[in-house]
Amino acid sequence: MHSFINSRLEFFPRLNAGHYPTPIEELPRLRAALGKRAPRLFIKRDDYTGAGLGGNKVRKLEYVLAQAQADGADVVISMGGEKSNHARVTAALCARLGLPCELVMNPPNVRYDGLKPANLVADELFGAKIHRVANRDERNTFSAELAARYMREGRRVALVPLGASIPLGALGFVRAIGETKAQLDAANIQITHIVHASSSGGTQAGIVAGCQLYGLSAQVVGMSPDDPSASIAAHVADIITDIGALLETTFDNRVIVRDEFVGAGYGIPTDESTNALALVARTEGILLDPVYTAKAMAGLIAMIGDGELTADDTVLFWHTGGQLALFYAPQ
Ligand SMILES: Cc1ncc(COP(=O)(O)O)c(C=O)c1O
């Protein structure tokens, strides 16, 4: 079965940009800090995927940009907030491919006078051209207009949607589950849950489809850092169905997305996320990011506090990267 899935995956071109397998580490000191009833905790270090300072976007963009290259694209357009991790990795991989990259960006909810988000500094260093729009809603229209204009001028445009969360990109996470299953089997670890941040949906869709394909039976819990769970879950379910079409199979596309830990909004820390970030840093020497993974960790800690997760469980927390959002540079 696994060789059949692997050969279906091999059908799609893929860049060889990330460093795999990313490590799985145990978190014994975090567990001890969370009390006697806390489950055994592991972390999947996708903050170490490497390219462009890593994170979950590398796995998705390896497929999406390989396809852009195969299609003969001569410019890549994508979008995000000024602190976007997706934008940073897109810019880095485009630099590596020698492809011009243009990013349509809106200002972040949290900003400081005279300081520039480190992700934006990286985008510029990677040579991306930045187009600014006023808000999240304007990103799609502006990008589509820009793409249409370039195409009228005879250019071959690859328009990469938010977070590269299209079925092709999500294959990166199907593949990641093959990698993870092999690591867990080799270490004789049986997990009961995977917990991670879920927003544009590609990560969760790939994880859920991958678990079904590779026979990894764990409940997958996506934690929203922004939108209501119903809208993220619907989008994740659609991507799962479309991954099925790509791989010529069908999946159960029911998913769990929770939105109780968003707080005041995207990128705005909560007391719980700030505490979670500090706790993981102090107990395990691991930095989370303030926008996504700290809120996902706050959700995991709340599930332990509420007794939803107990010492009978074993949880794999998926670190999706993004730590650069902690840092700023002078403007
Ligand atoms: C650090 C980080 N974690 C998690 C996510 C969520 O992943 P996805 O957009 O695939 O749902 C993102 C991007 O949105 C991210 O940058």
* CATH number for the domain formed by residue range(s) 2-54+165-330: 3.40.50.1100
> What's the pLDDT tens digit per position in 69-106?
999 999 999 999 999 999 999 999 999 999 999 999 99
Please give the helix or strand (H or E) that residue 26 lies within, else none: strand 24-26
Q: Tell me which residue has its CA closest to atom 3 in ligand 1.
A: 320
For residues 53-77, average pLDDT: 98
Distance 42 CA to ligand 1 centre (A): 19
pLDDT confidence tier of residue 239, bands split at 50, 70 and 90: very high
Q: Is 321 in the pocket of ligand 1 (CB under 6 A)?
A: yes
Residue 170 has pLDDT above 70, yes or no: yes
Q: Tell me which residue has its CA closest to atom 9 in ligand 1.
A: 200
Locate the domains of the chain by residue range: 2-54+165-330, 58-164
Angle between helix axes 202-214 and 57-70 (nearest 10 degrees) is 90
Residue 1 has pLDDT above 70, yes or no: no
Whether residue 84 lies in the annotated active site? yes
* pLDDT in the model for residue 114: 93
- The CATH fold assigned to 58-164 is Rossmann fold (3.40.50)
The catalytically annotated residue of 84, 165, 200, 273 is: 84
For residues 273-293, average pLDDT: 98
* pLDDT in the model for residue 110: 82
* pLDDT in the model for residue 5: 79
E strand segments, the chain: 24-26, 40-45, 75-81, 101-106, 115-117, 129-132, 157-159, 193-197, 219-223, 256-258, 314-319, 328-330
| Intrachain domains 2-54+165-330 and 58-164 with the same fold | yes
